Amino acid sequence: MRENHGSAASCIPPTGDVPATKGRRPEASCGCGGGEPQNRGLDRWALSRGATTMGEDASRSLGKGSVPPGPVPEGLIRIYSMRFCPFAHRTRLVLLAKGISHEIININLRNKPDWYYTKHPFGQIPVLENSRCQLIYESVIACEYLDDAYPGRKLYPYDPYERARQKMLLELFYKVPHLTKECLVALRCGKECCDLKLALREEFCNLEEILSYQNTVFFGGDCISMIDYLFWPWFERLDVYGIADCVNHTPALRLWIDAMKQDPTVCALLIDKNIFLGFLNLYFQNHPDAFDYGLKC
């Protein structure tokens, strides 16, 4: 059971060693650990197999009856994904932000291959697989693994307190994925969703309070860090889900959204709104080709 001891800001202390005060930007640990990663380019081996690497995601999804992919080549990590899934989106953001050479295998979640259950016991995504046949699943765990296992830019702060603080912030977010999905389903099914939107606004007000109390642009301080990438996929989807008005009364949160849209990693993975809407239209019709909507191949 999650404890509740008052307001969101009182539960999560401000970032940095100096308490936040009105009109003052507190000292913060960015946790960046260096500059932007170098783009390592596309892996020729993966391209020869029809898979995609780095930021691109143009491979068709694999369904029941498909041939399982072979071993992961040395120097690559594979992500089992789905182009429109916010949880997989988290892990892809981290892969791209850290410049990790990777291969994307998309899975048809309505018609999952039998072999995929050897990768995840419940057939969920995302799953990471490395060249040693090690499997890592659950999006937050996968993102932390990538940050720890690979060199370069560190997305979690080095400072143990700041790292713990980001994990506490994540606890404040736990209702948002479910509420956004419920709002989407209700709107798509022509049902009333005022209560759901009200609950979502309350969650956003908690996040607004944190940003205002910290007096920082990002949740981890003055630059993007892991917590921002873990939150982002659901905010990118607000407009296409038809619930963008839920942030109308949270100015600090809207500034954070605008700042996130300037990040090169976020920009590289943005999905065209019309393609996303096309996917949703087919998905709610149980169309077998929904997961591949918008692909040219």
Which pLDDT band, with edges at 50, 70 and 90, does 58 fall under?
Answer: confident
Which pLDDT band, with edges at 50, 70 and 90, does 33 fall under?
Answer: very low
Q: What is the structure's pLDDT at 236?
A: 98
Q: What is the mean pLDDT of residues 40-64?
A: 57
Q: What is the mean pLDDT of residues 247-253?
A: 98
CA atoms within 13 A on the CB side of 126: 30
Q: What is the structure's pLDDT at 288?
A: 87
Q: Which residues are part of the catalytic machinery?
A: 85
Which pLDDT band, with edges at 50, 70 and 90, does 275 fall under?
Answer: very high
Q: What is the mean pLDDT of residues 249-265?
A: 98
Which pLDDT band, with edges at 50, 70 and 90, does 223 fall under?
Answer: very high
The rounded distance, in Å, linking the Cα atoms of 31 and 223 is 8
pLDDT tens, position by position, 158-189: 999 999 999 999 999 999 999 999 999 999 99
Q: Is 280 helix (H, G, I), strand (E, B) or coil?
A: helix
pLDDT tens, position by position, 98-138: 999 999 999 999 999 999 999 999 999 999 999 999 999 99
What secondary structure does DSSP assign to 57-96, as a single string?
--PPPB-TTPPPP-PPPTT-EEEEE-TT-HHHHHHHHHHH
Q: What is the structure's pLDDT at 176?
A: 98
Q: What is the pTM of this model?
A: 0.83
E strand intervals along the chain: 52-53, 77-81, 102-106, 127-129, 135-137
Residue 237 has pLDDT above 70, yes or no: yes
Q: What is the structure's pLDDT at 56?
A: 59
Comparing CA positions, the residue from 136, 37, 33, 32 lying closest to residue 91 is: 136
User: Percent helix, strand, coil in the chain (nearest 5)?
Assistant: 45, 5, 50
The rounded distance, in Å, linking the Cα atoms of 60 and 71 is 19
Q: For the purposes of burial, counting CB atoms within 10 Å of the CB of 9, is it exposed (0-12), middle (13-18) or buried (19 or more)?
A: middle
Which pLDDT band, with edges at 50, 70 and 90, does 8 fall under?
Answer: low
Which pLDDT band, with edges at 50, 70 and 90, does 270 fall under?
Answer: very high
The residues facing 136 across adjacent strands are 128
The rounded distance, in Å, linking the Cα atoms of 176 and 180 is 6
The rounded distance, in Å, linking the Cα atoms of 217 and 260 is 9
Q: What is the structure's pLDDT at 165?
A: 96
Comparing CA positions, the residue from 36, 166, 103 lying closest to residue 92 is: 103
Which pLDDT band, with edges at 50, 70 and 90, does 155 fall under?
Answer: very high
Comparing CA positions, the residue from 96, 74, 30, 62 lying closest to residue 233 is: 96
Comparing CA positions, the residue from 239, 291, 277 lying closest to residue 261 is: 239
Give the pair of three-digit tokens for residue 93. Answer: 């953001």
Which pLDDT band, with edges at 50, 70 and 90, does 296 fall under?
Answer: confident
Q: What is the structure's pLDDT at 287?
A: 94
Q: What is the structure's pLDDT at 87?
A: 98
The domains of the chain, with CATH numbers, are 44-149 (3.40.30.10), 156-262 (1.20.1050.10)
Give the pair of three-digit tokens for residue 168. Answer: 């506490």
Q: What is the mean pLDDT of residues 248-252?
A: 97
Give the pair of three-digit tokens for residue 261. Answer: 């849209």
